[in-house]
Amino acid sequence: MHTTELQGVAPIGALLREWRAARRLSQLDLALDAGVSARHLSFVETGKARPSRELVEKLADTLAMPLRERNVLLVAAGYAPKYPETALATPMMAQVRRAIDSILAQQEPYPAFLVNRHWDVLAANAAAGRVANFLLDGRQSPHANMLHNIFDPTDLRSRIVNWEEIAGDLMRHLHSDVAATPSDAVARGLLDQILTYPGVPQHWRNRDPAIAPTPLLLTHFRHRGRDLRFFSTITTFGTPRDVTLEELRIECCFPEDEATAAFCRELVEREHREAVAV
């Protein structure tokens, strides 16, 4: 099954100009990097020439476009999309689901999440539920999106001691996502939504390309006198040839200290005792 977000795409010239701007490349820069004449590229961008399929793929490689966006570029040029988008629930993805389930399970008793390109939480292990249940006093989170979890004052935000540090870093990631995929209207909409939350500093509304997201960040929660500190690692699928696989990532949380690790083990023991009591 091919990606479905392909109707009503912009002309290829407009898309190339948008991507050049996102990558900060002039028309000449792109032509040189792709090994084509600047004149021919100019004709492609103005609609005077139709690029070959091979040229479209070469330009996409040069612009380091995600698979979803490569499909869009191909369709804009009049060609069929190249990369499938296979739903995770389909039988052909069974092996992938087993791998994901295994990673999530092995992370116990510490939280782990499966997240898509828009930070929607698609799956989580039991530890994630236990920690969230503690932090939210048994309430169900109103969101299934990690950014909304962090920015909404009624959600996990009120439990994060270093919220401004965490939120600022996530905002840099979101700005980078929007800049990296300029045709992604959903990412732009998510950015607009996040900026409406109270307490978001004015300067977070503009991307600062000089400041990169932090490679490793510690999240410090505090609730009922408990301090929980986690750092996270991200796992992605290497050299994916499917849109769905490229956009998935697994976030695994590790305890920063023994107190956090001990509390996670305590939550498991408490759950077992309650199950036996029932």
- How would DSSP label each residue in 99-119? HHHHHHHHTTTS-EEEE-TT-
Mean pLDDT of the chain: 92
3-state secondary structure 137-198: CCCCCCCCEHHHHHHCCCCHHHHECCHHHHHHHHHHHHHHHHHHCCCCHHHHHHHHHHHCCC
Does the structure show a pLDDT above 70 at 71?
A: yes
* Residues 93-111, mean pLDDT to the nearest whole number: 97
Both structure tokens of 55 = 């040229």
Q: Is the pLDDT of residue 26 over 60?
A: yes
pLDDT on residue 8: 52
Please say if the pLDDT value at position 5 is more than 80.
no
Quick: pLDDT tens for 134-188: 999 999 999 999 999 999 999 999 999 999 999 999 999 999 888 888 888 999 9
pTM listed for this prediction: 0.87
Q: Which two tokens stand for residue 164?
A: 């401004």
Sheet of 218-223, strands arranged across: 121-124, 112-115, 249-255, 226-236, 218-223
How far is Cα 163 from Cα 99, in angstroms, rounded to an integer?
Answer: 32
Q: What is the mean pLDDT of residues 18-44?
A: 95
CA-CA distance, 113 to 104, in Å (whole number)? 7
Q: Give all domains of the chain, ordered by start, each with its CATH number.
A: 12-76 (1.10.260.40), 91-277 (3.30.450.180)
Per-residue burial over 236-245, b = 16 or more CB atoms within 10 Å of its CB, e = otherwise: ebeebebbbb
For residue 278, pLDDT over 90 is answered with no
CA nearest neighbour of 242 among 29, 70, 43? 70
Which residue matches tokens 């969230």?
132
Give the pLDDT confidence score for residue 216 in this predicted structure: 78
Q: What average pLDDT does the segment 89-116 reach?
A: 96
Torsion sign over Cα 100, 106, 109, 111: negative
Supply 70's token pair: 């490569």
Q: For position 1, what pLDDT does the model report?
A: 38
- Considering only CA atoms, which of 211, 260, 255 is closest in space to residue 233? 255
Q: Determine the Cα–Cα distance for residues 258 and 215; give it in Å rounded to an integer.
A: 23
Q: State the Cα–Cα distance between residues 45 and 29, nearest whole angstrom.
A: 14
Cβ neighbourhood burial of 78 (10 Å; 0-12, 13-18, 19+): exposed
According to the model, what pLDDT value does residue 9 have? 58
Determine the Cα–Cα distance for residues 39 and 48; give it in Å rounded to an integer.
Answer: 11
Q: What is the mean pLDDT of residues 212-231?
A: 90
Provide the pLDDT for residue 275: 85
